[in-house]
Amino acid sequence: MTAVRLVGVRQGLLERFRHPAQVIVGGFAVAVLAGTGLLALPAASESGQSAGVLTALFTATSAVCVTGLVVVDTGTQWSLFGELVIVGLIQAGGLGIMTLATLFALLVSGRLGLRARLLVQAETKTLQGVGVRRVIRNIVIFSLGCEAVLAVALALRFALAYGEPVGRAAYLGVFHAVSAFNNAGFGLWPDSLVRFAADPWVCLPIALAVIIGGLGFPVIFELVRSWRRPRAWSVLTRVTVGTTVVLLAAGTLVLTAAEWDNPGTLGPLSGPAKVLAGFFTAVMPRTAGFNSIDIVAMRSESWLATDILMFIGGGSAGTAGGIKVTTFGLLAFVMWAELRGEDRVNIGHRRLPGPVQRQALTIALLGVGLVAVSTFALLAMVPHTLDKVLFEVISAFATVGLSTGITADLPPAARLLLVALMFIGRVGPVTVFSALALRERTRRYELPEERPIVG
């Protein structure tokens, strides 16, 4: 019966999404244009004067693409109306990408983590559409539930420990909860979360929300149902969880060690606070964009480590960006199999199909190429050094939002380039993956084999 339901849901998805790229690109473009129009209104600015079309476009794109890069300070530039527009755009962008990515994962493969687990829960009585609606409902409930819990926790902390009025504390809690879970990184303080660097009651809940939002709904759902039986996890969950744990541990170790005695970052903090800030700094490149230490004051080796973490990003079908930890993890298994001389790539008790290996390689190389070309173009526009420009480009492409402080000073052409990068980085991986997967064809003949020299 489960197999019949899976076929029914996939048939329903095929009917609704005959052109996945058009659905994704068109939907996000409409949201960006609507947000630009609203933020360009005088009522959206604290001063009562329009912020300008370019500033509104940059901010709207950053919000819809859940990036967090800004050219003006969010808390002082935008009015309450403007801030609510930004929160709405973040929520729409986060839910939109989670929903579309999850549905397309179900469409292109019945074994990407959703499998029968989502369908068993959906007590469908027909073969068309009902399962899809249940999946979307579960995503929305899960997302809003996580945001509500985080908002309450933050509001209580802001009210009890920092003396914020109840209404203001609740607003701050909701704004930063939505921004954190959706990996957006928008904050209402000029220093982001630097003032809370040593406060675990603020940093840890936000970091946890970033991690959960970045794992992706299929992985979270499978973990909830099978967390006691790791051997039963799908390949998606195995790779996502394993790679995430390794990257968080390695990132925390590297960034904490590199910044330990830096007077501009971790130096003035106590030992436990340094570890907390180091962990928080390692979590944010998953692509949240908050910072509890001054990014500008970080050392060059820390920028490079952050570049790598940002480029990899978070989990598939989640709110994080980058090439995805799944892509990175799969390529690691491919390399390991090649180094061992094995002709098959095995993960756990499953074999990785050849098309999936090629898709992972394609997405990774497309990301490298886009970052390289964009860095070259931006270097030609601005007088900044390579390390700063590369950091900014990867932050935009991976929809992170961290900055070395040069974003606000960029000329209009450079800002438009970052707008394009944010948009491509947000919709690109899902679009490319779904397009590649749906284009799979069975060739009815084989050409003669020839082995060229590699390396």
* Pair 38, 398: CB distance under 8 Å: no
Question: Which amino acid is it at 190?
Answer: P
- Quickly state the pLDDT bin for 32 (edges 50, 70, 90): very high
- Of the candidates 39, 16, 41, 31, the residue with the CA atom closest to the CA atom of residue 66: 31
* Pair 415, 54: CB distance under 8 Å: yes
- The pLDDT value recorded for residue 166 is 94
Question: Which amino acid is it at 276?
Answer: L
* Pair 53, 26: CB distance under 8 Å: no
- Quickly state the pLDDT bin for 309 (edges 50, 70, 90): very high
- Per the document, the length of the chain is 455
Q: 193-249: per-residue pLDDT in tens?
A: 999 999 999 999 999 999 998 888 788 888 888 878 888 888 888 899 999 999 999
Q: How many CB atoms lie within 10 A of CB 421?
A: 27
Cα–Cα dist 353/315, whole Å: 20
Cα–Cα dist 46/78, whole Å: 5
Give the phi and the psi of residue 351 in degrees, each rounded to 5: -100, 135
Q: Where are the alpha helices (DSSP H) in 163-216?
A: 166-181, 200-215
Place of tokens 């799979």: 440
Mean pLDDT value across the chain = 83
Cα–Cα dist 69/61, whole Å: 9
pTM listed for this prediction: 0.85
More confident residue, 20 or 283: 283
Q: Which of 69-78, 228-237, 276-285, 362-371 has the weakest average pLDDT?
A: 228-237
- Of the candidates 366, 356, 296, the residue with the CA atom closest to the CA atom of residue 331: 356
* Pair 169, 155: CB distance under 8 Å: yes
- Quickly state the pLDDT bin for 257 (edges 50, 70, 90): very high
Cα–Cα dist 109/91, whole Å: 27
**Which of the 8 DSSP states describes residue 45?**
B
Burial class (CB in 10 A: 0-12, 13-18, 19+), 455: exposed
Cα–Cα dist 322/428, whole Å: 10
Q: 34-44: per-residue pLDDT in tens?
A: 999 999 999 99
Cα–Cα dist 363/198, whole Å: 38
Residue 158 has pLDDT above 80, yes or no: yes
H or E element, residue 381: helix 354-381
Determine the Cα angle at 102 with ends 325 and 6, to 5°.
Answer: 125
Percent of all residues in the chain with a pLDDT value above 90, rounded to a whole number: 53
Residue 345 has pLDDT above 70, yes or no: yes
Spell out the residues 6+ positions from residue 156 whose beta carbon is closer than 8 angstroms to its own.
Answer: 169, 173
More confident residue, 118 or 47: 47
* Pair 430, 102: CB distance under 8 Å: no
Average pLDDT for 446-453: 74
Question: Which amino acid is it at 252?
Answer: T
- The pLDDT value recorded for residue 9 is 47
